[in-house]
Amino acid sequence: MKLRIHPDDLTTKGNVHYWISLFIVVSCHFGFSDKVLAQTQPVSLPDGTEGEVLTSPLPDSVTGKPAKRNWNEFDLGFTTLKVGGGFLYEYVGFKQDGSALIQMDSAGVEAKNEFKTRDSRIMLSGALKTQRTITWKLGLMYDGVTGAWWVRETGVLVALPELSGHVFIGRTKEGFSLNKVMNGYAGWTFERQMALDVIPIFGDGVKLMGYLPKPRIFWNAGIYADWFSEGQTFSTYNWQTAFRLGWRPVYDPAHNQVLHIGASYRYGHPLNGQIRLKSRPEANPAPYFIDTGTFPSDHSNHFGTEVYYTKGPLTMGQKSFGILLHLRRRTTLHFLEVMLQ
């Protein structure tokens, strides 16, 4: 169980609203690693694309003894099985002045103090006992906002040692922005930035990922479509493609020192030629403070940069995002967000 309390300020047209979010997270999917995407038969294998790991199904090459497994991992013969779950419950509270109350009333929304279930998850995954490393994953999630069950990251991950990487086929995160691809239960920031809300949390498609150990360069590229997610709340694009390239000029795990630099690009065709930008103030139970309504758009371009530095217990960083929305009237809308963390 993990308990986090985080006060933050939200400014809207000069009026400051103070909110406090309280997260309670219970999770059974353990083990995060960022060095698992370039090996053929490592001690641990990638469990999906969010940084989690599986125990190798193969015995030790020297002793012949089977690998030591966690309590929630099992050997089924042709594959291993890892069982996991998670539950996220949160509280949000607001303090508003008179002007803020008038703004909320005019927008037809209410910022109220409340406890709310954010989501609960069931996750199954494993590694097939094949010569080429192949892992699989199945994820289901109850969404507290919509009250519906959704399929989370689900698919097959195949090792490509020829390319120093892997290919994932199925439903997964697009690969745009470090905060977007990280597991929401273990992010580096309290909440994802508001500018990222325009990008769907999942896409159905193919994603290539790789890591070159010597120059410490990592990358991913993918193409996604609305194959299985039609009608779901995050289904807002007919198809999209995303790329991400990063470099770690400083990487010293022994002293917990890392300098991480990355850049992302995304191109997408909105569903039915229409798009809508809306976002909450980085507090999930809060109402939408930004909502443009639906407007026509042929395609969108997204740009992002990220720089993080970690030394010991301290992590600091900066992220920036830009969006270019092409309207049918040959007009382009520009949006930019820069955040220091």
| Residue numbers of the domain that contains 46 | 2-340
The pLDDT, as a whole number, for residue 6 is 30
8: Cβ contacts below 8 Å, ≥ 6 apart: 19, 20, 21, 190, 282
* Tens digit of pLDDT at every position of the chain (341 positions): 333 323 222 233 333 333 333 434 443 433 333 333 333 345 568 888 877 888 776 666 666 677 778 889 999 989 999 999 989 888 888 888 888 788 778 777 788 888 888 889 999 999 998 989 999 999 999 988 888 888 989 999 999 999 889 999 999 988 888 888 887 777 666 677 776 777 887 889 999 999 999 999 999 999 998 776 666 666 788 889 999 999 999 999 899 999 999 999 999 988 888 888 888 877 777 888 778 888 888 888 999 999 999 999 898 888 888 888 887 665 666 666 555 55
Count of structural domains within the chain: 1
Give the residue among 267, 278, 270, 279 at the shortest CA–CA distance from 327: 270
User: Count of CB atoms within 10 A of residue 57's CB?
Assistant: 24
Distance CA 197, CA 218 (A): 24
268: Cβ contacts below 8 Å, ≥ 6 apart: 237, 239, 240, 241, 299, 300, 302
Lookup: tokens for 230? 């039609």
Distance CA 166, CA 38 (A): 7
Lookup: tokens for 238? 């007919």
Q: Is 236 helix (H, G, I), strand (E, B) or coil?
A: coil
Question: What are the Cα distances from residue 288, in Å, to 10, 38, 118, 339?
Answer: 13, 41, 15, 20
Q: Is 163 helix (H, G, I), strand (E, B) or coil?
A: helix
Lookup: tokens for 152? 């989370």
